[in-house]
Amino acid sequence: MNNTHLLDEIEEINLAYLLLAQRMLHDDRTSAMFRLKIDDEMADLLLSLSARQLAQLARTNQLLCHFGHESAEQLRQVTHNQREQGLSRFHASLLMASRSGELAVGA
């Protein structure tokens, strides 16, 4: 895979992530802030970005989103979970909620 193609894919993921974050914040700000692991200031900033600014931010060569699990062990607990299907999602949510207050979006 060539570097240009990879950068194009990163841009697409970033733009999709930013648009999803804005939509989530418009629909239910409190829930979105919790799920995105962002504070009020970041939520306000994301909501204030124009389409042009979103596109510009998406063009960075770094992914703006990242895994919500701090360690491979947390991810392993979710993927190798023996609980019933209904409890599996709840368990994953608890693990995600327990992670540190690090922001999910880099500016």
pTM: 0.71
Q: What is the average per-residue pLDDT within 12-30?
A: 97
Q: Which domains, and CATH codes, for the chain?
A: 3-97 (1.10.4000.10)
Residue 45 has pLDDT above 90, yes or no: yes
Summarised one tens digit per residue, pLDDT across range 46-98 is 999 999 999 999 999 999 987 766 678 877 777 776 665 556 666 566 666 66
Q: What is the average per-residue pLDDT within 94-105?
A: 52
Q: 22 near 49, Cβ under 8 Å?
A: yes
Summarised one tens digit per residue, pLDDT across range 8-17 is 999 999 999 9
Q: Is the dihedral of CA 38, 44, 31, 16 positive or negative?
A: negative
pLDDT-derived band at 32 (thresholds 50, 70, 90) equals very high
Q: What is the average per-residue pLDDT within 20-33?
A: 97
CA atoms of 84 and 48, how far apart (whole Å): 41
